[in-house]
Amino acid sequence: MNRREFILTSGVGTLGLAAGVGGCGASSPTGVAPATTQKEERTMIHELPPLPYEVTALAPHLTAENLELHHGKHHNAYVVNLNKFIEEGKANGSLTLDELIMASPEGPVFNNAAQVWNHTFYWNCLKAGGGASPSAGFEAKLAEAFGSFDEFKSKFNQAAVGQFGSGWAWLVKNHDGSLEITTSANAENPIRNGQTPLLTCDVWEHAYYVDFRNARPKYLEDFWGWVNWEFVESNL
Ligand code: FE
């Protein structure tokens, strides 16, 4: 899946939302429904986007048990919470997911909206079967920014392992086109800072505890064999 397909099927951007396609309510993890559609005139119904692969596709890195819990329970809970806030009038139902993230102050609405976005992005950063590597051109960009591809991975891992508590590690593009490794706590998201996310790794314990127990460094080490570089590069 490239960035455009991600936007269209996740409802993360405005294209999918403006089109108002798809059904209401949470969709099956194996379905093809988009994350968000319109109810009546202006109210957005956010949906759980299906995984872009089967639940067994990331094993042995991440097992089906992990994905069923992480996607089917954790990711889904953020979607359910966000829709509840809209129903209760606590969140603006006329805003797209991106708009909610940008407009909401720190608190439950922002946390759940951003976690819907972050998880959808994370699933798309991974690739069924693993064994992928970046294109020569992108590897050169990473080497230019971070010294070498191996140094990039090492610096990303250091940042991810060093993120205290729950959060995310990111490769982002800044306004000036430069690449940067950042981390965010809890639900925070680089789009709030005007940065363009290219790659993320979920370092909440729920992302790896089933398969790696407390070994976050091992989870990070294994992560690189499963990155969807086509998606990452398309985000540039
Ligand atoms: Fe997560």
Cα–ligand 1 centroid distance for 41 (angstroms):
32
Q: What is the pLDDT, as a whole number, of residue 5?
A: 54
- Distance from Cα 75 to the centre of ligand 1, integer Å: 7
State yes or no: pLDDT of 135 exceeds 50: yes
pLDDT tier at 134, thresholds 50, 70, 90: very high
Q: 176 C-alpha vs ligand 1 centroid, how far in Å?
A: 30
Look at residue 163 and tell me whether its pLDDT is greater than 60.
yes
- According to the model, what pLDDT value does residue 43 have? 80
How high is the pLDDT of residue 36? Answer: 58
| Summary mean pLDDT of the chain | 86
Amino acid in the structure at residue 234: S
Write out pLDDT tens, residues 71-86. Answer: 999 999 999 999 999 9
**What does the pLDDT read at residue 221?**
96
Can you list the domains of the chain with their CATH numbers?
Answer: 3-124 (no CATH), 136-234 (3.55.40.20)
pLDDT over 70, % of the chain: 82
Q: What is the mean pLDDT of residues 151-164?
A: 98
pLDDT of residue 83: 97
Distance 121 CA to ligand 1 centre (A): 11
Ligand 1 centroid – CA 73 distance (Å): 10
C-alpha 58 to ligand 1 mean position (Å): 15
pLDDT of residue 156 exceeding 90: yes
Mean pLDDT calculated for residue range 194-202 = 97
Annotate 50-68 with three-state secondary structure: CCCCCCCCCCCCCCHHHHH
Q: What is the pLDDT of residue 1?
A: 53
Distance 38 CA to ligand 1 centre (A): 26
**Which residues lie closer than 8 Å to 113 by C-beta, 6 or more apart?**
78, 82, 91, 97, 100, 101, 104
Residue type, 34: P
For residue 44, the model assigns a pLDDT of 84
Residue 162 Cα, ligand 1 centroid: separation in angstroms? Answer: 17
Whether the pLDDT of residue 98 is over 90: the answer is yes
Chain position carrying tokens 């993890």: 29
Worst-scoring range by mean pLDDT, 21-25, 42-46, 172-176, 208-212?
21-25
Render pLDDT for 5-28 as a digit per residue (tens, 0 to 9): 554 344 443 323 322 222 233 322
For 56-67, how does the pLDDT look when each residue is reduced to its tens digit (9 = 90+)? 999 999 999 999
Q: Is the peptide bond before 105 cis (omega within 30 degrees of 0)?
A: no
